[in-house]
Amino acid sequence: MPLLPSVEGNSGILSSMFRFNRAVARTVVELHELVLRGDSPLSPLEREILGTFVSAVNRCDYSTKVHCSIIREMGASDELCSAIGSYLADNVDELPVDAKLKPLLHYIRKLTLRPESLSMADANAVYAAGWEERALYDAIVVCSLYNLMNRLVLGIGLDTPSSLDPENIRTISHLGYRIILENL
């Protein structure tokens, strides 16, 4: 149930943000495009998986559901989507993802829950898996973006959508977030 009286129970995050500050909403969408679809050693799917995982760690059911639909449309397995949305967000090693991605997942889980406990050993695990510094930086940025969005969703008190528009999911999955800007 929304915690802001002017927000309807079935509102989406963008419509809620636009209600209060269009400039911030537009900037957040632009940031999504840059972070999730811009140049990176991490593929768009890998970045979306990282973000979906952050939402699951935060127990943000709204964002987990939306982004599981996006990663599924981008080629992730149903098994991965189910696992991320379950208790496995608490046990990275059991997630059905490429072993190379697991050190990044461990890192961003710790960054989300206990950022003060990060150490060089956490970064070294990422590098030992074959990632360069830029990939770790990009994972940190994805993690930060999703933590921002999760805090907005949970702070506003948005209800988890009962259904999602498959066309919107396909469009974001294949064209990115810039398409949202074109429709504003």
Q: Tokens in use for 50?
A: 């990282």
Q: What is the pLDDT of residues 22-31, one digit of tens each?
A: 999 999 999 9
Q: Tokens in use for 88?
A: 């496995």
Q: What is the pLDDT of residues 129-158, one digit of tens each?
A: 999 999 999 999 999 999 999 999 999 999
Name the residue ranges covered by the structural domains of the chain: 13-174
Report DSSP state, residue 114. -
Query: Mean pLDDT, to the nearest integer, of 65-80?
Result: 96
The model's pTM is 0.95
CB 47 within 8 A of CB 137: no
pLDDT of residue 112: 97
Q: What is the pLDDT of residues 29-55, one digit of tens each?
A: 999 999 999 999 999 999 999 999 999
Fold entry, domain 13-174? AhpD-like (1.20.1290)
Where do the DSSP E strands lie in the chain? none
